[in-house]
Every structure is written in C-alpha cells, then in structure tokens.
Amino acid sequence: MAAKVRRAAAAVVTSKFRVLAKTIMKQLRHIALLMLGVLAAPGVVVAGVLPEDRSDALYHQYVGGGVEIDGPSVLVRKQVGKSLSFVGNYYVDYVSSASVDVVTTASPYSEERKQWSLGMDYLRGNTTMSFNYVSSVESDFDAKTYSFAVSQDMFGDLTTLTLSYAYGDDIVGRSDDPSFQQDNTRQQYGVGLTQILTRNLIASLNVETITDEGFLNNPYRSVRYADPNVAIGYSFEPELYPRTRTSNAVGVRARYYLPYRAAIEGEYRFFTDTWDIVGNTASLMYVHPWGKYTFSIKGRYHDQNGAHFYRDLFPRAQATNFRGRDKELSPLTSSTLQLKASYQFIDINKGWSIFKKGSITASVDLLSVDYHDFSDLTAGADVGDEPLYHLDANIFQIYISLWY
C-alpha cells in the first residue's frame, strides 16, 4: 500500500514536472519568435565584433572507473580582412576502457576518436553569421555535423541574440560485425541571449531543443534480466531504445564583478526529454586574479531521474518494449570540484613579437557520481543484494593560449 502511494505521488510529481516543462517550452517558443522579430528589424543596432584571433593547444586526461582517455586538442582562429574569421579545431581521444559495463558483459578494449572542425564567422554591421562543420571518426562510429548560427548585437550592444541550428548525421557500426550499419540523424535548435544588466553584471539565457532519430542505443551494451535457469540468477540480452528522442534544456548564467577585482558566476540548467529524464544542474564559480596569475574554483552539482525504459534488473527476457541499462540513463547525482590556475607569460600591456598575450593554464576536475539504481555486478553479491555503483574520476587539463 505504502509503495502504491509512493508510486502515485511520484507519478503526480513527474506529471507536474512535464506540465511545467511544456509550459516553459511553449513560452520560450513564443519568446524565440518575438526575438526573430527583433532580428528582422533594422536600425536598432550599433556595431558587432568578430572573435579574437587566438590559438590554443590543450592536453586532456580522464582517469576513473577503469577508463582512461587522453589526447590533444588544438584550436586556431584567424581573422581575414575586416569581416571574416576562420576557426579550425583538431581533437583526439585515446580510449582505454575496462569500465564496469565492459568488464561485466564484454572485454576491455582500446579505441581512438579523431575529430576535426572548420568554421567561419562573417560580420556584417551588427550581425555575425557562423558556419561550422564537424567530423568525428572512430572505427565503429562516424559523425558529421553541419551548423549555422546568426548573432545580433542590439540596444547599444547591451544585448546579443543568437539563433542556431545544427544537423548531425551519424553512422553506427560494430567492430566485430562489418555488415552492421545503422543511421542516426540529429537536429539542434538553439536560442541564446546575452545581456549586460549593470556595469558589474552580465547574464545569459540559453534554450536548446535537440531531436534524434534512428539507432540511439549502444550496439554492444546489454540489459540484465532475472533468469532462474542460471546459477548467478541473471542473464543478459541486447538493449533496445526508442528510435526517437527530443530533449529541451534551459540554462541561465550570470557573472558578477566583485569590488576588489574578482568575479563570481552562477549557473542553472533545467533539462527534460521524451524519455522522461528530468535533470537539474547548478554550479557556482569564483575567479580571483593575483598579479600574473588567475585562480578559479568551481563547484557543480547535477541530479537526474532515470529514463522510463531503464531498469537495473528486468523481471524476465524481453519484459518491456524498450530496454536499457546504460548507467548514464539511470537516476544519478554527480558533483564536481574544479580547481584552475592560469599564468600570463606574455603581458597584455607589452606583448611579444606578433603575440598580444599568452597564458598557460592547468586544471583538475574531481568528479564523483552516485548511481541510485545501477548495481555493481563486479562485487559478486547475490541478485538484488549487489551494492550500488559509485564512480570517482579525475580530469586533468593543461593548455597554452596565444592571442595575436
């Protein structure tokens, strides 16, 4: 009885969340259309700027949960003439994985992912148009994304409105089956607003809708179901996701300049999707410059419930139409502490050779994830008595940035 009441209460809360999310999205669509009206109106704008010329060379490393991923990322941005800016990025992930998923249903593996992108920004008056192409290639996954965005500075440059659209086309394969090939398409619609509120406060609002269609599950991952015919009490079968997903996210961010030259930033995001995941993410950051150094500390918290087709243990084989046991789709809470330090080795007031400014930055993110309905099968306990899985990961970054 108590369980029924709890389920009914949970259903009411979920239902209220959905109604609230739908209302918010409806209002945001109205705002987006009004903003389109703003964009179409001439004469209320003053002057736009292109992004600064810069290059960044970054090394990243992720270590945690039996997974190690590292590699470089290099970005080069250069303005050509007065109204064009080109940007290119090359990024690599070298993956070595023996994660809890992998060791319970498959064998550890090594993999690499190479991603490159080319983009162009075109400034005309107060309007910046951006085009971008991204290609990401793995041995069993190929993704291409084409995106377009238009930004408008207005109201004495106090406001920047950005509308964006991206189309993604993925091909999913299997390394052990060359004949396996499935397609995904993805469309992203975004509206962003950056607003100067006071001489010390700047804020932004971002709304993003993403729709996916195609083969959305991992071709290697399995779900677990109770099986009295085997000694361990459970067996595995391939997961099966819905072929569509639409998600909506609304994020707000504000940064405030403190009286003694330091900054504080707060951010909140609400997320909901058609798989019934509802997520809340909040973060707080403090930035403190000290001579040529800049230090920052950031805390981030994320909480979500699980997808409607997620189960840690299904009662039998093919128990539901859709089945998933991806721990990222389970109810979870994650928290991150980020520490960052930056040293400016080329002073912005002096410069050096062709460079206006240069800095080197190192950061560490300590990520901790508590899964509320994902059992650690490596513990070897009886079915139903397995402990819940917990992930700790350390993320290191070091990068050099040069402005010219």
Partner 1 sequence: MTNRLVPRFLLTTIALTALGGCSNFEPWVKPYERDRLADPIMALDGDPVSSAYIQHVYEAREGARGGEGAAGGGCGCN
361-380: contacts with partner 1 (CB under 8 A): 361, 363, 365, 367, 369
* Minimal distance, residue 302 CB to partner 1, in Å: 6
Q: With contacts defined by CB under 8 A, how many residues of the chain interact with partner 1?
A: 97
Residue 34 contacts partner 1 per CB under 8 A:
yes
User: Is 140 among the residues that bind partner 1 (CB under 8 A)?
Assistant: no
Among 170, 208, 239, 312, binds partner 1 (CB under 8 A): 208
What residues form DSSP beta bridges with 334?
A: 302, 369
What are the tokens at 391? 């992930």
How many Å apart are CA 154 and CA 93, to the nearest integer? 40
Decide: is 123 part of the binding site for partner 1 (CB under 8 A): no
Which residues pair with residue 263 across a beta bridge?
257, 287
DSSP 3-state assignment of 155?
coil
Between CA 291 and CA 209 the distance in angstroms is 42
Cα(345)–Cα(400) distance, integer angstroms: 10
* Residue placing its CB nearer to partner 1 in the complex, 346 or 391: 391
Q: Is 44 in the site for partner 1 (CB under 8 A)?
A: yes
- DSSP tag of 240: B
Nearer to partner 1, 234 or 403 (CB): 403
Q: Residue 172 or 367: which CB sits closer to partner 1?
A: 367
How far apart, in whole angstroms, are the C-alpha atoms of residue 59 and residue 153? 34
114, 144, 243, 255: which one binds partner 1 (CB under 8 A): 255
Q: How far is the CB of 188 from partner 1 (least distance, A)?
A: 7
Q: Which of residues 304-363 bind partner 1 (CB under 8 A)?
A: 304, 306-307, 328-329, 332, 334, 338, 361, 363
- Site membership for partner 1, residue 279 (CB under 8 A): yes
3-state secondary structure of 275: coil
Query: Segment contacting partner 1 (CB under 8 A): 101-109, 168-176, 222-230, 272-280?
Result: 272-280
Classify residue 48 by its DSSP letter: -
Burial 36-56 (b: 16+ CB within 10 A, else e): eeebeeeeebeebebeebbbb
**346: β partners:** 358
Among 14, 79, 89, 320, binds partner 1 (CB under 8 A): 89
* Chosen residue from 200, 244, 318, 394 binding partner 1 by CB under 8 A: 200
- Give the footprint of partner 1 on residues 64-83 (CB under 8 A): 73, 75
Choosing from 1, 199, 353, 385, the residue that interacts with partner 1 (CB under 8 A) is 199
Distance of CA 364 to the CA centre of its chain: 18
**21, 38, 108, 249 from 28: Cα distances, Å:** 10, 15, 45, 11
Our finding on whether 118 is near partner 1 (CB under 8 A) is no
Extract the runs of DSSP E, i.e. beta strands, from 65-106: 67-80, 84-97
Q: Tell which one of 83, 281, 320, 335 touches partner 1 (CB under 8 A).
A: 281
